[in-house]
Structure 1
Amino acid sequence: MNKPFTQFYQQIASNRLSEWLNTLPAQLSHWQQHELHGDYKLWQKSLDALPKPHCDTPVEIDLKKGVFVGKQEDLNQGEFKRLENLMKKFKPWRKGPYHIHGLHIDTEWRSDFKWDRLVDHISDLSNRYVLDIGCGSGYHLWRMRGAGAKFVVGIDPTQLFFMQFNAVQHFIQDEKVNLLPLGVEQLPELKAFDTVFAMGVLYHRRSPIDFLYQLKTQLAPGGELVLETLIVDGDENTVLVPGERYAKMRNVWFLPSAQAMCAWLERCGFINVRVVNTDITAFEEQRKTQWIDTESLQDFLDPNDNSKTIEGYPAPKRAIFIANVK
């Protein structure tokens, strides 16, 4: 388990993230010793049992059109069945999809839809250092790398997502793409990333303004923030603070209007703030599949009126914001 972290330490020791070594090893050591999930050993056992392709030539990997790794012919029939069975040990798979040696991991979210909505609006990622906060299993990390990013780091404290990422990394083996089991509050003020992504996170934060400042302190001068979040209709003073649940989620705190979100960003010192996309979440983008075994969007909406959540709030509507720092 130490190996991926050791490799990461070695890499950042010689790049612009070297300051992180002042805090990161102690944090991850504490995590390994005291904070492991009760199922972690079972997940690790499944990870260790994943097959490796028997190929005379390098495995074909395409991260530009999606996350496509190899072909089914790279594995024999028994290995493919083992791959499928082991990958299902990591359910629920939320963000994706992934195509691993012919196995289609049909995740709950079609995260490629979100990528397609934003990719033409962001700065070229070529040779950039990129941070993705709340990255889930890391689907967008791979797309960022496919778009040319030089060094990609994702953080997400959910340990199942960490194991899902490592299951995919088992087949891709790209040391320039990394996921760390951390929350944003554990990051020092690195001011080192050219682009910071924060997608589907802000509404889970009890203090959205503090969160925006945390994002800002990760960006290098002139850097770009790509933020996607739930919004509601209204003017610059409109903010929905839901009750105990929103779309059956307990941890939803603030849903601003697009205008309010822009005002928050500007108040925090971001410049060139703009909304590049708004989109109502559709059943084609978030739905039940054999890879989740839980409820999904259809269960979260009023069965008699899909424009409302089951609690009576406006149905999920998302917007993508882009902003810069000086």
Structure 2
Amino acid sequence: MTEMNPEQIRARVAELGDWFHNMDLKGVRTAPDHFLYDYPANKFARFEHAIPADLTGKSVLDIGCNAGFYSLEMKRRGADRVLGVDSDDRYLEQARFAAEVEQAEIEFRKLSVYDLAALKERFDLVIFMGVLYHLRHPLLALDLIHEHVADDLLLFQSMQRGSDEVFPVAADYDFNEQAHFDEPGYPRLHFIEHQYAHDPTNWWAPNAACSAAMLRSAGFEILDQPESEVFVCRRGPSPWVGAAYPARASTNGYDRSGDKA
């Protein structure tokens, strides 16, 4: 592949429209006027130490890859296979171009988080950052990641609002006990009916306790929380039984409790 000069890179960056990832492609910035400045590099710098520095021989799945910043970072750490998936064609075009400029062998594919089972593959590291709050069915997405693609580590991030406190959650509460629902450290998922920050795809804003609780509920053990919104997890056994999801052919007509669906 012929290496592009800065003028060619700059022209193609402009052709690909607005970029949310402000990336440095051989000295050319993809979003020089980004409202979050050097994003996501400035955010990644705060938690990059929590991810293995050497991913040699490992596979990585980047869900909601956008323009591929994290996919490229994992490839730089030596990952053997990196697959980025997104539902937005424009982001995928940007990601493919960024990988081309960096001469990185990364596959990008159009795929919804709800269709991850189609991959029929598990990955050593799954990245699920900046996606959960855009989904109508966030807990389902975490369950599908656990069930179909996560083999070991999960790097998770969500926009959070409310308290950063995380209170211990009891195994059960009496029906008449209600005070805990108003405690700042109790898991709380705020629903956004219309728009937030002028974005109609922002549906949810969990507090920190809710993010942690949802991850545990989906079967992930939290290993580290390098900053409030970021969790490094390990896949564990599924703690839930009989989730109210439509039965699939592979269940042979039975739900996860073993009862007839």
Fold match by TM threshold 0.5? yes
Number of the residue aligned with 1:324: 234
The answer as to whether partners of 2:221 and 2:235 remain within 8 angstroms in 1 is: yes
More helix by share: 1
- Between the aligned partners of 2:210 and 2:156, the Cα distance in structure 1 is 14
The answer as to whether partners of 2:86 and 2:110 remain within 8 angstroms in 1 is: yes
| Partner SS state of residue 145, structure 1 | helix
Q: 1:82 to 1:171 in 2, by over 3 A?
A: closer
Q: Percent identity?
A: 23
Structure 1 position 85, deviation (Å) = 2.3
| Partner SS state of residue 46, structure 2 | helix
The answer as to whether partners of 1:219 and 1:325 remain within 8 angstroms in 2 is: yes
Q: CA RMSD in A?
A: 2.1
- Between the aligned partners of 1:140 and 1:225, the Cα distance in structure 2 is 13
Q: 1:230 to 1:104 in 2, by over 3 A?
A: closer
The within-5 A match list for 1:1-326 is 52-53=2-3, 75=5, 80-100=6-26, 102-107=27-32, 108=34, 109=36, 110-124=39-53, 125-175=55-105, 177-188=106-117, 190=120, 192-216=122-146, 217-220=148-151, 223-232=152-161, 233=163, 234-272=184-222, 274-278=224-228, 319-326=229-236
- Between the aligned partners of 1:276 and 1:269, the Cα distance in structure 2 is 20
- Between the aligned partners of 1:83 and 1:194, the Cα distance in structure 2 is 33
Structure 1 position 168, deviation (Å) = 2.2
Which segment is superposed worse, 267-276 or 157-166?
267-276
The answer as to whether partners of 1:52 and 1:171 remain within 8 angstroms in 2 is: no
- Code of the aligned partner of 2:234: N
Q: TM-score, normalised by structure 2?
A: 0.73
Structure 1 position 97, deviation (Å) = 1.4
- Between the aligned partners of 2:115 and 2:124, the Cα distance in structure 1 is 19
Q: Matched residue pairs, number?
A: 208
- Between the aligned partners of 2:204 and 2:138, the Cα distance in structure 1 is 8
The answer as to whether partners of 1:126 and 1:148 remain within 8 angstroms in 2 is: yes
Residue deviations 1:34-64 (CA, integer Å, cap 9, x gap): xxxxxxxxxxxxxxxxx933xxxxxxxxxxx
The answer as to whether partners of 1:266 and 1:273 remain within 8 angstroms in 2 is: no
- Between the aligned partners of 2:158 and 2:210, the Cα distance in structure 1 is 12
- Between the aligned partners of 1:191 and 1:257, the Cα distance in structure 2 is 31
| Partner SS state of residue 170, structure 1 | helix
Number of the residue aligned with 2:248: none
Q: 1:265 to 1:86 in 2, by over 3 A?
A: closer
Q: 1:164 to 1:262 in 2, by over 3 A?
A: same
Structure 1 position 274, deviation (Å) = 4.2
| Partner SS state of residue 60, structure 2 | strand
- Note the residue ranges of structure 2 that are not aligned, 5 or more in a row: 164-183, 237-261
Residue deviations 1:234-288 (CA, integer Å, cap 9, x gap): 322322112300111111222111112111111122123542202xxxxxxxxxx
Q: 1:154 to 1:82 in 2, by over 3 A?
A: closer
- Code of the aligned partner of 2:209: Q
The answer as to whether partners of 1:265 and 1:273 remain within 8 angstroms in 2 is: no
- Between the aligned partners of 1:273 and 1:254, the Cα distance in structure 2 is 24
Q: 1:116 to 1:240 in 2, by over 3 A?
A: same
- Between the aligned partners of 2:136 and 2:223, the Cα distance in structure 1 is 23
Residue deviations 1:67-105 (CA, integer Å, cap 9, x gap): xxxxxxx74xxxx434422321112011131223x4333
| Partner SS state of residue 155, structure 1 | strand
Q: 1:207 to 1:251 in 2, by over 3 A?
A: same
Residue deviations 1:168-189 (CA, integer Å, cap 9, x gap): 23333333x1111211122217
